[in-house]
Structure 1
Amino acid sequence: MNFHQLHIFYTVSERGSFSAAAQTLHMTQPAVTMQVQALEDYFGTKLFNRSTKKIMLTEAGQTLIPYALRSLELMRETDQAMSAFTHMLEGRLQLGASLTIGEYVLPRLLGPFAKEYPHISIMMKVINTTQIIEEITKHQLNFGLIEAPVNHPDMVIEPVLGDELKLIVHRGHPLAAREEVTLAEALAYPFILREQGSGTRRVMEEQLLAKGLEPSSMKIVMELGSTGAVKSAVEAGLGITMISTSSVKHEVTLGLLKIVNISDASFKRQFYAIHLKSTLLPISAVTFLTFLREHAGEQ
């Protein structure tokens, strides 16, 4: 018995067929079948019932599943622990990132990462969460970085970075002279928001509901499909907004926008890494995610 066989066994159980597992693992179907048979020979018992079109786990197979899963998790933990000592890595990472992460958070971290690991090249797609999951499932991306947790039976989801939404106003706005306001004071003004369903909008609305406030009671004068468009509208004095502090550092430095603290509410959130349960991340990907966690305060 070896780890590779347990990995294959677990993937077959997750995918529901030898052919689907072979596609996931980039192996031939006969090779997958042979490795499972070798595992069955080792234990001296069948792990799958193959009498139907979709294979089913035997009682022995069901017993083995949690041990196989633990072996995968231990291997991931091992990779994460050892990545700190590996500085001559090579490889090409293909990752997806949702809008705020891809446009405003990662660019500030990619430079330092490239200096520390010059032989790892990164190809990043800035797309929405649904597209990220679809491309990970098709093995077109190694992993993704998303703004809100999702429930998906085939995915591992774990927090990697922290973020916070703040009240953002134009430099000439009445609230710009204040360092801190109450939530009620902020809600008295017209808002420009990201579209319904965006991670940013969801975090803001969840916090309002937690405070006993209906998001529909806000004075929303505009809903826009990108953070850049929201910032431009606020700069033009059309309203105020709630967006990530990571996305306005440039405008705040230039004095175009002002961050105002809200004294009686906090709009903190996590960014998450997502990847397939049945596929081990390459050590270069584990190293990249470890780097993000270690440099979380720099974004």
Structure 2
Amino acid sequence: MALNFHQLHIFYTVAEKGSFSMAAQALHMTQPAVTMQVQSLEDYFGTKLFQRSTKKIELTEAGRTLLPFAKRSIDLIKSTDVAMSKFTHMLEGRLQLGASLTIGEYILPRLLGPFSREYPSISVSLKVMNTTQILEEIFGHQLTFGLVEAPIHHPDVKTEVVLNDELMLIVHADHPLAEQEVITLDDVQLYPFILREQGSGTRQVMEQELQRVGFGTDRLKIVMELGSTGAIKSAVEAGLGITLLSQAAVRHETALGIFKVKRIEGLTFTRHFYSIFLQAALLPISAVTFLTFLRERDLKAWL
């Protein structure tokens, strides 16, 4: 019997989780299958790797010795996938991911075209949903990974920055601020303002930057709070107020001359978009290829 990476990955996950059942859940395997693979690894080395009791499991001295080598092997495989993803243009497979609303509706559609032209044999399945739903499907192994607008703080979830974004002041082309060269917060608070709902990523970014300069949202003339970017765009187009949105979300309206995109002097509303996936998961090469594409390409021309 030869040593194989699959067994090392299972061993490492059991050690990290401290439980065969939790490792089985993380790996989307049955508990007996996990136990069998660990036993095979113990047979290969001719020694016990875990001390088992009714309440808990602990690494033996042999297990503690093997653990850093198992981690290095996992890290090496991940690095290998990233390095080789640059050359896999004839790769075949299915890319299955979830994306939160702004990313799924306004960012990814512009990126999937160039990606598909470069990797024509990878088919894409995209679900647009909120972050909570994406997490549920990742934990349920229905999705491989997701792209979201805020970091996820969960011990079983790996979060990595893959894209950067900036919110800008969006005004109707007929608005008094549309032709004004320099716009200050004092100017902004003179006009009706439309906000995203409490808890949205867009609103959090706006509030954090305003808080940095000591400006509370209560000083704005808030006329409505809406639960989607599309609703806010419609309200601005109807002349109901001004807002802050991702420039990528209003590219079409800007090109048609409906909106003007402006900066507020002294403020920068930057944010990150994150990939999220299970810590215990080894992403398929199609997913690694797509994430490498996002990290290493100059995406500005498409956004």
- TM-score calculated relative to the size of structure 2: 0.91
* Residue 117 (structure 2) pairs with residue 118 (structure 1): no
Contact 2:160 2:274 in 1 (8 A): yes
CA distance in 2, matches of 1:69, 1:185: 55
Structure 2 residue aligned with 1:207, among 206, 209, 227? 209
**Aligned equivalent of 1:296:** 299
**Aligned equivalent of 1:101:** 103
For residue 291 of structure 2, give the secondary structure of its aligned residue in structure 1: helix
- TM-score calculated relative to the size of structure 1: 0.92
1:2 is displaced (CA, Å) by: 3.3
Contact 1:87 1:116 in 2 (8 A): yes
CA distance in 2, matches of 1:194, 1:153: 29
CA distance in 1, matches of 2:188, 2:64: 55
The amino acid of 1:140's aligned partner reads Q
Contact 2:26 2:278 in 1 (8 A): no
CA distance in 2, matches of 1:264, 1:105: 26
1:15 is displaced (CA, Å) by: 4.3
1:70 is displaced (CA, Å) by: 3.5
**Aligned equivalent of 2:40:** 38
1:104-253 alignment runs, 5 A limit: 104-253=106-255
CA distance in 1, matches of 2:45, 2:57: 19
1:37-76 alignment runs, 5 A limit: 37-43=39-45, 45-58=47-60, 61=63, 64-76=66-78
Contact 2:100 2:129 in 1 (8 A): yes
Cα RMSD of the aligned pairs, angstroms, is 2.0
Change (3 A) 1:211 1:68: farther
1:43 is displaced (CA, Å) by: 5.0
1:108 is displaced (CA, Å) by: 0.6
Give the percent of matched residue pairs that are identical in Structure 1 and Structure 2: 69
CA distance in 2, matches of 1:180, 1:65: 58
Q: Which runs of 5+ in 1 are unaligned?
A: none
CA distance in 2, matches of 1:67, 1:195: 47
Aligned residues between the structures: 299
Structure 2 residue aligned with 1:258, among 241, 257, 260? 260
CA distance in 1, matches of 2:6, 2:195: 48
CA distance in 2, matches of 1:62, 1:183: 58
More displaced 10-residue stretch of structure 1: 26-35 or 89-98: 26-35
Change (3 A) 1:32 1:228: same
Contact 2:42 2:49 in 1 (8 A): yes
Q: Which runs of 5+ in 2 are unaligned?
A: none
More displaced 10-residue stretch of structure 1: 26-35 or 133-142: 26-35
